Amino acid sequence: MTEKECFRCKLVTYDEIVEWTTDLAKKIRACNCKPTVIVGLTRGGWVPARLLCDLLGVKKLYAVKTEHWGVTANPNGKALLTQELNVDIEKEEVLLVDDITDTGESMSIAKAHLQDMGPEVLKCAALLHITHSKFLPDFYSVEVPEDNWAWFIFPWNRNEDLRTLIPKTLYEEKGVADIQKAFREQFQMNIPLEDVNITLGDLEAAGKVKRSGEKWTRA
């Protein structure tokens, strides 16, 4: 039997995303910031960045990419900038946007990169800010105390996160109902049986899990 990982997951809804970006836009306006460019940190920052463009009337939306959390809730490894910005931002008022500052590494690396490109103003915003982050964004909507840390399952990442989390319930072979039960116990979250079945099908096709009769195991 392999190790049984347990940590709290919290499912985020699109309604919460709209609520948090609307709140961020209010905070950004209140400090008289008028970004002319928004840069979304790939991939979590894309949806919030696009919504902020709409809320703040910004037409220029660009992206940079950092890679750190290779898989769901795996805090190992350093963040790396893997896609630079390839447009001129001198004379621009830039807002860098991500979904969450957790270690704060991605935001800090991306900010340093943009700063080197000589923008007029550079500010950073995240929907959620975990208090242990070594990077403090200029704007955030929700402060999450570090002892309330959770893996936030953002709506644009739900299937990917389930594909990472469900195999963690297979530390021993299980049927579908027991996978659902183990998911609740390990990650404090309910998932519909239909989603367990869809995810197992995807994982089976990818060669990551296998079925024998009614039971599933890691491949």
- For residues 184 and 190, give the distance between their C-alpha atoms in angstroms, rounded to a whole number: 5
Both structure tokens of 175:
């049927």
Task: Assess 20 for contact with ligand ADE (CB under 6 A).
Answer: no
User: Contacting ligand ADE (CB under 6 A), which of 139, 140, 151, 183?
Assistant: 151
Question: CB-wise, 89 or 100, nearer to ligand ADE?
Answer: 100
- For ligand ADE, the binding residue among 20, 152, 183, 216 (CB under 6 A) is 152
Residue 37 CB, shortest distance to ligand ADE, in Å, is: 24
Q: How far is the CB of 191 from ligand ADE (least distance, A)?
A: 16
Structure token digits, residue 16: 């919460």
Binding-site string for ligand ADE from residue 73 to residue 102, where x marks contact by CB under 6 A and - marks none: ---------------------------x-x
Round to whole Å and give the CA distance between 194 and 151.
22
Binders of ligand ADE: how many residues, by CB under 6 A?
Answer: 5
Work out the number of other CB atoms within 10 angstroms of the CB of residue 206: 10
What one-character DSSP code corresponds to residue 88?
Answer: -
- Compute the least distance from the CB of residue 204 to ligand ADE, in Å: 26
Which helix (H) or strand (E) covers residue 179, if one does?
A: helix 176-187
Q: Which is nearer to ligand ADE, 135 or 216 (CB)?
A: 135
Q: CA separation (Å) from 57 to 17, 29, 61, 132, 159? A: 18, 11, 11, 32, 31
Question: What single-letter DSSP state applies at residue 149?
Answer: -
Q: How far is the CB of 211 from ligand ADE (least distance, A)?
A: 29
Q: Residue numbers of the site for ligand ADE (CB under 6 A)?
A: 69, 100, 102, 151-152
